[in-house]
Amino acid sequence: MKKTGIVIGALSALACGCAMLQPQSAVEVYYRSDLDTQTGKVIVFPLLSSDGRKAEGAQNVELSMLGKWADMYGKTNIIPAGPVLEQLAGNDGFQEFIKALDNTSAVEQTHQNPRIREVVSAITGKLGNYNLALAIIDGGPQEFNAGKEIRLSIGFFDSRNMTWKWITKTGARKGKLGRWEMASSNMVNSSFKEIETKNK
């Protein structure tokens, strides 16, 4: 019995040690359980920077996220929003839409904003009347390796109810043994894990 306890204790210490080596991502979650959101096809935007343009230098985050969107809503239900993104760049309504994802205090007013309503209508008018999936990232591997905090916000917009069904916010900062690939993957995985739990 004593030997078993020592082995379990050693394994626990090893597990804790390994966990400490991995970059951890706490996740803030906004979730509307009261919304009867109809799921089906989803218009998925490329990973965006906070100015509403395609984020450069974080391709591994985008690839990881595309896989998660496909796992959650089905590969055949994913509609790329790339074709309309260039038309939206610089659009005031789209900028406000992006800011609503980054600023959860503005989420409840989204459906009342006429410019956001126009942008959502323009997107769904071109690609179909489906829900929208967006994510914005503040920073990339260069900033991470310089010791800056990277922030990632992911959201699923219910276009019928004109509001966010859910939003996750998380971040990562380089530790002594931290690597960008590991930290960015952890941010994405942690975010979707929280939503998968909420959806059950």
- Count CB neighbours of 18 within 10 A: 9
pTM: 0.84
- Count CB neighbours of 90 within 10 A: 11
Asked whether residue 104 is domain-assigned, the answer is yes
Range of the domain at 152: 26-199
pLDDT score of 107 = 66
Asked whether residue 17 is domain-assigned, the answer is no
Reported as type and span, the H/E element at residue 29 is strand 27-31
Domain count, the chain: 1
**Encoded amino acid at 95, one letter:** Q
Integer Cα distance of 41 and 131 in angstroms: 7
Beta bridge partner(s), residue 155: 134, 167
Asked whether residue 21 is domain-assigned, the answer is no
Asked whether residue 151 is domain-assigned, the answer is yes
Each residue's pLDDT tens digit, 54-106: 888 788 899 999 999 999 999 999 999 988 887 887 788 888 888 888 766 66
**Encoded amino acid at 199, one letter:** N
Domain containing residue 150: CATH number: 3.40.50
The token pair that represents 37 in the structure block: 């959101």
